Amino acid sequence: MSITSEQFRRVLRLFPCGVTITTLRCADEIHGLTVSAFASVSPEPPLIAVVIDNRHRAAELLEQPGTSFAVNFMAEDQAELSNRFAWVKDEDRFAEVAWGQAATGAPVLENALAWLDCHIHSSHRAGDHTIYVGEVQACRVLQDDKLPLVYWNQGYRKLDTPS
Ligand SMILES: Cc1cc2nc3c(=O)[nH]c(=O)nc-3n(C[C@H](O)[C@H](O)[C@H](O)COP(=O)(O)O)c2cc1C
């Protein structure tokens, strides 16, 4: 390898990302985790992608047949919720969160800016992560009057928009 992992990370952390909570249903189990590696892929058919570390519980569940997932966009006042879905391990991450069920059965968060509910279209192993492409079955805008949560250079940020 021509660069170190630290060199790679130092560059990547300078790219600003939105923050999602990616939620999934696998048979009777629901799960969710914070994901910033999200991309829009194709409008026709409607495809999006999330990139998940193969060591995560989420990756194990996403490999099971029939698993569906949803991507919930976080608002600027939801850093605490983002941390909950990133760091809480033993507790139920959904315990203090209002959520419902979308068309695929995936859980969706009622206080997100918007969500996309997906069947898994394909998955692509890439190094120690996997790219999961989702085909969007349902989507909803819940609040378009709020600003998004942004993650940049190892911290949560807010957009500074001129009024
Ligand atoms: C701001 C932020 C962004 C994150 N983005 C990703 C990501 O894009 N992909 C990923 O696999 N993990 C990401 N994580 C880490 C996971 O949310 C975290 O490791 C989680 O506990 C994994 O859950 P699980 O192993 O229970 O599935 C992120 C964490 C934070 C705080």
| The pLDDT value given to residue 161 | 83
Q: What's the pTM? A: 0.97
**CA triple 143-43-112, angle to 5 deg:** 20
CA distances from 33 to 12, 82, 155 (A): 20, 8, 17
Q: What are the average pLDDT values for consecutive 10-residue runs of the chain, which has 163 residues?
A: 94 98 97 98 98 98 98 98 94 93 98 98 98 98 97 96 76
| CATH H-level superfamily of 18-152 | Electron Transport, Fmn-binding Protein; Chain A (2.30.110.10)
Select from 22, 34, 62, 91 the residue to mutate for testing ligand 1; criterion: most ligand atoms less than 8 Å from CB.
34
**Where are the chain's structural domains?**
18-152
Query: Would you state the structure tokens that stand for residue 4, as one six-digit string?
Result: 């170190």
Query: Would you state the structure tokens that stand for residue 90, as one six-digit string?
Result: 């033993």
Distance 50 CA to ligand 1 centre (A): 11
Residue of the nearest CA to atom 21 in ligand 1? Answer: 86
| The pLDDT value given to residue 1 | 67
Q: Which ligand 1 atom minimizes the distance to the CA of 52?
A: 11
Q: DSSP for 123-142? A: EEEETTEEEEEEEEEEEEES
| The pLDDT value given to residue 89 | 87
